[in-house]
Structure 1
Amino acid sequence: MADVAEDIVDELVAHLKEPPAAPPLLYKYLSPERIDVLQNANIRYTQLYGTNDVFEIRRTFETMYGQKMKKAVRATTASINIEEEMVKAIAEAQNMSLRNARRWLKQNRNDPRIRSVEENAPTLMANFLDNFLPKTFGNQDFIMHILNNFAKKTAALSVSEQPHSPSMWAHYAANWTGYVISFDTADGSLTPSPENGSRFFPISYRNDMINEFFDDPIGALFSKQTDWANEREWRKIIRREQADRIIATQPDDVLLNKFDRSAVERVIVGHRADPDFVDALRAELQAYPKARLYRTQISQADGTVSEIAI
């Protein structure tokens, strides 16, 4: 089962369907202690077991083998040439060429064992499609094994659509004393590639399960419970081996990836930030060709957050 699950995870990571286009700008909230992100142009990709959501890895779909997958599998198996598959099996078992295996099959066509395989193949295939696959791919332990393997193999950069969320400023930016980086999602260092990982995916917020994985693959893999919906999160995924640097720590390793300094559109510092920290940010931004520094501005009159250049 482990090998099957690993193969499935590899396919999921490699062939996720096209997500919606990411917003032009996405935002990362950070505490003052994380000024190293700007100093080093490195940002952490968090392994999914290490996020602040204890239900990050949870079952989000009833089965992997619903009508969509069933239709795709049947279309694939309908094109299988039983005789050619037998030739391949004979060639492998007898360590012979495909040409010799075809000749052997032709000479032994009346062998009861060969006739039995040919006669029983349709029944075995039907049993595989109608019994084995639904039971295996609908099994809760199997589904959780796949999700756990996905979590072990991948890490995520979590960002938000919004730079002015009071709850996120309080929770992730040390009660308005930290800062927010505005990333240009079209920058080459953040676009999908074998080195940079995936494109950005939106998080789906739901408490219920979808029926079949392929009803909404992105939502099945990238979802959180509705309590988190205010964060309006997007994620960029890398495999563990794509990290530029891995720092061994407990309980989870720290995975770091570089970004180009041109990817930073602006930096917003909280209005409660220490003046020395503001000066430190201003100094770091000298190395960032496009970035300007802004400060949050709070309106008690209408409960809004805005920015002013500083």
Structure 2
Amino acid sequence: MSLPPVKLYKYIPPARVDILQNLAIRFTQPSALNDPFEFNLLFSEVLSTQQLREYYEQADKHKLAMEAIGRLPEDQKAMFALLPREQFLRMLEQFTSTIFNPEKIDNIHKSYVAPLTPKLKKVIYDGLNKTIGILSLSATPLSPPMWANYAENSTGFVLEFDTAHSFFNGRRSNKDEFYHLREVVYADRQPSATMMDMPFDTFVLKSKSWEYEKEWRMLLPLDAACKKFTTPCGDDVSLFNVPATSISKIIIGLNTKDHAISELIDILAKNGHFAHIKLEKIQKGSTGFELTKFKNE
């Protein structure tokens, strides 16, 4: 696992100055992100016919048969109970060889397993969408497309975060998907044959067309949000407390309006927790965006 850069950046539109005012930031559910393929489940089917055959070959067929008999109506179960043990075992052997032969397994796969794939994909995606919130950060504050797309055509600002802060380092175990920063993997992949063959980087996998974002992300469980509400347009929003000490710098956009700059300066001046935060501004360089120290004139 790659270590994150010392600093990561969040592009913010001017209207979201309330992030600083309230020290609360949104972790967004997959369906509300601008990439419609977020958490895309890349598998063609739940289980292949061969995998289903292998499962039945390794299964305790006697146990499976007994479980099937146990689900029969009481009068039919009573009939089995009247049979001599040897006769019952012979019937059980015939039953299992009839039920678990290759042709029957193929029919089970075709009739029950294959149709299950789209339904299972939807159930999993809906579950993830109700469970997981994502904070997307970038490794660069100097991306013109990012300023255009996420900071309202460079009229907003960028927050610089210190990745060494405990806010980004709360992982509870090596298998924990939450509370730590992870680098996004950019790759154009074909679907795996089955769900069992699918790689386990779905949470950080995006198409190479998004590679310019240089994204790192942190996932948090939505039920841990400090505040939840629904916007007038029906969008569910989950906010999480963000420590002032995790923010090290604010970068003002190339086209940020004077009143928005004044508002930022006023917020920093009124909150003693922001005394450490530096202010810089984007300017046009000879080949792209550059950073310069902000001068409040």
TM over 0.5: yes
What is the number of equivalent residue pairs in this alignment?
278
Are residue 209 (structure 1) and residue 190 (structure 2) matched? Answer: yes
Q: Find the counterpart in structure 2 of residue 7 from structure 1.
A: none
What is residue 230 of structure 2 aligned with on the other side? Answer: 248
Contact 2:10-2:160 at 8 Å conserved across structures: yes
Q: Determine if the alignment matches structure 1 residue 158 to structure 2 residue 158.
A: no
- What value does the CA root-mean-square deviation take over the aligned residues? 4.3
Change (3 A) 1:192 1:66: farther
Of residues 221, 240, 247 in structure 2, which corresponds to 1:257?
240
Give the SS at the match of 2:240: strand
* Structure of larger gyration radius: 2
Matches within 5 A, 1:33-72: 33-56=15-38, 58=40, 60-65=42-47, 70=51
Tell me the residue number matched to 2:262.
Answer: 276
Which residue, out of 168, 183, 192, partners 2:171? 192
- Give yes or no for contact 2:281–2:294 (8 Å, CA) kept in 1: no
Q: Does 1:302 align with 2:284?
A: no
AA in 1 matched with 2:30: L
In the TM superposition, residue 141 of structure 1 has moved relative to its aligned partner by 5.0
Identity level (%): 22
CA 1:243–1:117 in 2, change beyond 3 Å: closer, same or farther? farther
1:293 is matched by which residue type in structure 2?
Answer: K
CA distance in 1 between counterparts of 2:70 and 2:58 reads 21
Aligned mate of 1:266, from 230, 233, 249: 249
Task: State the 1:201 CA deviation.
Answer: 3.4
Question: How far is the alpha carbon of 1:43 from its aligned partner?
Answer: 0.7
Q: Please, which runs of 5 or more residues in structure 1 have no aligned partner?
A: 1-18, 94-103
Task: Using the TM superposition, give the Cα deviation of residue 31 of structure 1 relative to its aligned residue in structure 2, in angstroms.
Answer: 1.9
- Select the residue among 207, 211, 214 that pairs with 1:229: 211
Q: SS of the counterpart of 2:20?
A: helix
CA–CA separation in structure 2 for the residues paired with 1:143 and 1:192:
28
Q: Does 1:24 align with 2:6?
A: yes
Task: Identify which of 170, 180, 183 aligns with 2:148.
Answer: 170
- Cα shift at 1:300: 3.1
Aligned in 2, Cα 1:163/1:61: closer, same or farther, shift over 3 Å?
farther
Counterpart CA distance in 1 for 2:183 and 2:86 is 56
Assess, with a 3 A threshold, how the Cα gap between structure 1 residues 262 and 230 changes in structure 2: closer, same or farther: same
Task: Classify the secondary structure of the residue corresponding to 2:216.
Answer: strand
Deviation at 1:247, TM superposition (A): 0.8
Instruction: Please say if residues 38 and 284 of structure 1, whose CA atoms lie closer than 8 Å, have aligned partners that are also in contact.
Output: no
Q: 3-state DSSP class of the match of 1:192? A: coil
Structure 1 length-normalised TM = 0.68
Find the aligned partners of 1:113 and 1:154 in 2 and give their Cα distance.
50
Once the 2 structures are TM-superposed, how far is the Cα of residue 287 of structure 1 from its aligned partner?
0.8
Aligned 8 A contact 1:35 1:281 in 2: no
- Measured in 2, the distance between the counterparts of 1:164 and 1:173 equals 12
- Matched residues in 1 for 2:229 and 2:99: separation? 52
How far off its partner does 1:203 sit? 3.2
Change (3 A) 1:271 1:115: same
Aligned residue type for 2:234: P
Shift, 1:279, TM fit: 1.3
SS in 2 for 1:189: helix
Q: List alignment gaps of at least 5 residues for structure 2.
A: 73-80
SS of residue in 1 equivalent to 2:238: strand
The separation in 2 between residues aligned to 1:150 and 1:188, in whole angstroms, is 25
Code of the residue aligned with 1:295 in structure 2: it is E
Residue 122 of structure 1: CA displacement? Answer: 5.5
With normalisation by structure 2, the TM-score equals: 0.70
Q: 1:64 to 1:299 in 2, by over 3 A?
A: same
Amino acid at match of 1:171: N
Give, in whole Å, the separation in 2 of the partners of 1:129 and 1:237.
Answer: 41
